[in-house]
Structure 1
Amino acid sequence: MQALILAAGEGKRIKPIVTSKPLIPFGGQTLLDRVIHNLKAVGINKFLVVVSPKDQDKLKAYPTVIQPQPNGMSGAVLAARSVLVGPTVVVNGDDLIDPKILTKFSQAIKTYQDKVVVTAIKSRPDLTGGYFDLRGPTLQVVEKPKEKQPSEWLKLVLDYFPRIEEFIAALKSTQSLRDDVYEQALNQLGNLSLVKADGYFQPLKYPWQILDLAQLILTHYLKPQTHPSAQIHKTAVIEGLVQIEAGVRIMPYAIIKGPVYLGKQVIIGDHALVRNSLIEANSVVGYKSEIVRSYVGPNNNFHANYVGDSVIEADCNLGSGATLANLRFDKKEIIPGRNKLGAIMAQASQLGVNVSVMPGVSLGAKAIVGSGLVLAKSLEAGEFKKN
């Protein structure tokens, strides 16, 4: 069986992050790699990835097809129409789905061999999308209902088509003024079998959801092991579940409190503290820095910093003493559902020495904050806040 993986989304809501969502590394593997690994575990062994033109050269490991324009899920499927035939699973490349859900979905495919199989989980306050309407004679999907939700069952992008060419024909004949051509085409097909699933599901739409995904990786995918090439000073303290990759160096009196992932060639400096975080390859957590409940992408450098509940994309530099605050004095939510959120630092952004970044503030790619400043408002890509 083949899977069509939708990985060409424009990602407007993930800004200021510039890495395409499926290509963001989590624990040494891209999100797309983890999606494919989980699909392989339920017997899907053939993959076609729909990508945007800018990512075509970055995906050498899998067959790809280009979606020339960011015209939604329907456009993604139609971009692959010339090479799709027969039984096909359609899934997002930036959704992390519990293997338990995938197993139940796979079992339903075997049970309803000649039917379209769709998947739902119970709705949560932090999720939006299509909902299933179970009230009529046939199952229907309502995308982003304007009024009351027709049920508690939220649709996942985890669909099985015994004959994908029939769905492609429905897509071609469907028109809508809303962004729901995919869902309308599903309704047009009819004969849908619904899998009501239970388990974790985490999409990646907003930058702070990188933190949610990081916690899922630490909880469900961490391999507590130390590579033989890692160098750990005898005075360093390692507590809890910690995965330490090749070439890691942990200096004197550093403390690592799991769950923690340390990617290849990561350096943890003297007296540094890392708690409940992902630190991707080639990042340096310098002397006396503290990283807590954060996502640190590859090639970042820290110098005596506090980094709490923050997302640091890649190639960033934090000057000595720079602090990323993560909690308001009044304890109010910074975004809905989060009263702790630090900074979102996009690729190659920089902080001078002794900079203070207020909770929930973001820096666009290559943004710079001069030494000693307090940053209370977000910076656009390339912006330089000077003394």
Structure 2
Amino acid sequence: MQALILAAGEGKRIKPIITSKPLIPFGGQTLLDRAISNLKTMGINKFLVVVSPKDKDKLKSYPIVVQPEPNGMAGAVLATRSVLVGPTVVVNGDDLIDPKIIQQFYKQINKTPDQIVLTGFKSKKSLSGGYFDGLKIVEKPVKRPSNWLKLVLDYFPKIEKFISVLESTKFDKDDVYEQALNRLNNLSLVKAAGYFQPLKYPWQILEMTQIFLTKCIKPDIDKTAKIFPGSYIINSYVGPNVVIGHNVLVRDSIVESDTVVGYGEIIPGRIKLGAIMARGSQLGVNASVMPGVSLGAKAIVGSGLVLAKSLEAGEFKKN
């Protein structure tokens, strides 16, 4: 059995973050690496990752296929048509799925190895996506037919047969993959229990961080991190080569490698949307950022300013 990992999405909605979502690290491990680690518990040791052209040189550990156009999940699977045959698990590279769900899914595959196995997650909140109506999938319904959200965690005993159906499925919307599934028979559905967190919007980074801190990683300070006197690190992960200045409070947070947190900063880890700062952005001395405001990549805020509106990539806000 092999795994196909979909990691080529554009990620338009997670702006101003410019790192591809599967490559965003949490606790020293990217979402893609974590997905692969979880799939290895099923005995899978062969992986193929579909990536966008901008990431083709960033993945060295696994075979890749480049999806030339951002034409959705269907386009990602079709990009592999010349190389994929046989039993295959298809999974999103930017979802956080409880290993318990993976094991329930694996158990069903062993029980019905000749059937296509789909996975549902009972959603108490309004997560966007497809919802099950029996074994059929209704994508982004106005009224949910059930509380069972479809996860991208699918098993195909012969992926080439699904690819053939996918090639002949034509729809105007972005749900070609789901509509192709709706044309199939011989399906089984795992109604799984556990945690699940998608990553589509910037604020979901906070939700995912909370899950990591409570479910996945232990609070820890890497031995190479430098913490100056007067600082407090509470229930947080601090990665390699981090520098935290004097009189800093870090609470319920993940501070990734090579980050510098300056003098007198407060990182509260509250469950609300604060500032979002993309790679290479800078805040001047005594600058403040209002809640929900974002700084694009390499944007700069001058000293003493209160930033009330978001800055685009490369923009410089000065007095």
TM-score normalised by the chain length of structure 2: 0.97
Which is higher, the Rg of structure 1 or of structure 2?
Answer: 1
Q: Would you say 1:72 and 2:46 are equivalent positions? A: no
1:112-132 per-residue CA deviation (whole Å, 9 max, x = no partner) reads 111000000112324110111
Which residue of the other structure, out of 210, 218, 223, is the alignment partner of 1:215? 210
Shift of 1:96: 0.6
Moved more, 93-102 or 120-129: 120-129
Structure 1 residue runs without a partner (length 5+): 224-241, 294-308, 310-337
Instruction: Tell me the equivalent position of 2:136.
Output: 140
Cα distance in 2 between the residues matched to 1:370 and 1:247: 31
Q: Would you say 1:268 and 2:244 are equivalent positions? A: yes
Partner SS for 1:107: helix
Moved more, 84-93 or 284-293: 284-293
Moved more, 13-22 or 186-195: 186-195
Instruction: Tell me the equivalent position of 1:317.
Output: none
Question: Which residues of 2 match residues 1-387 of structure 1 at below 5 A?
Answer: 1-134=1-134, 139-145=135-141, 147-223=142-218, 242-258=219-235, 260-293=236-269, 309=270, 340-387=272-319
1:118-177 per-residue CA deviation (whole Å, 9 max, x = no partner) reads 00011232411011111xxxx2111112x3212121100000000000100000010001
Shift of 1:354: 1.6
Cα distance in 2 between the residues matched to 1:174 and 1:89: 20
User: Which amino acid letter does the alignment assign opposite residue 248 of structure 1?
Assistant: A
Cα distance in 2 between the residues matched to 1:376 and 1:76: 39
Cα distance in 1 between the residues matched to 2:4 and 2:138: 23
Shift of 1:179: 0.9
Shift of 1:8: 0.2
User: Which amino acid letter does the alignment assign opposite residue 196 of structure 1?
Assistant: K
Partner SS for 1:189: coil
Partner SS for 1:196: strand
Please report the RMSD computed on the Cα atoms of aligned residues, expressed in angstroms: 1.3
Cα distance in 2 between the residues matched to 1:269 and 1:350: 16
Shift of 1:268: 2.3
Equivalenced residue count is: 319
Cα distance in 2 between the residues matched to 1:368 and 1:271: 24
Cα distance in 1 between the residues matched to 2:227 and 2:309: 35
Cα distance in 2 between the residues matched to 1:105 and 1:280: 31
User: Which amino acid letter does the alignment assign opposite residue 129 of structure 2?
Assistant: G
Cα distance in 1 between the residues matched to 2:295 and 2:262: 21
User: Which amino acid letter does the alignment assign opposite residue 368 of structure 1?
Assistant: I
1:244-300 per-residue CA deviation (whole Å, 9 max, x = no partner) reads 224112222322111x1111111222322211110111112233322221xxxxxxx
1:215-245 per-residue CA deviation (whole Å, 9 max, x = no partner) reads 111112224xxxxxxxxxxxxxxxxxx3122
User: Which amino acid letter does the alignment assign opposite residue 184 of structure 2?
Assistant: L
Sequence identity percentage? 71
Cα distance in 2 between the residues matched to 1:126 and 1:85: 36
Cα distance in 2 between the residues matched to 1:86 and 1:121: 26
TM-score normalised by the chain length of structure 1: 0.80
Moved more, 370-379 or 11-20: 370-379
Cα distance in 2 between the residues matched to 1:269 and 1:381: 27
Moved more, 366-375 or 105-114: 366-375
Cα distance in 1 between the residues matched to 2:244 and 2:304: 25
Cα distance in 2 between the residues matched to 1:180 and 1:96: 21
Structure 2 residue runs without a partner (length 5+): none
Cα distance in 2 between the residues matched to 1:144 and 1:291: 35
Cα distance in 2 between the residues matched to 1:180 and 1:289: 44
1:281-330 per-residue CA deviation (whole Å, 9 max, x = no partner) reads 1112233322221xxxxxxxxxxxxxxx5xxxxxxxxxxxxxxxxxxxxx
Runs of 4+ in 1 over 3 A off after TM superposition: none
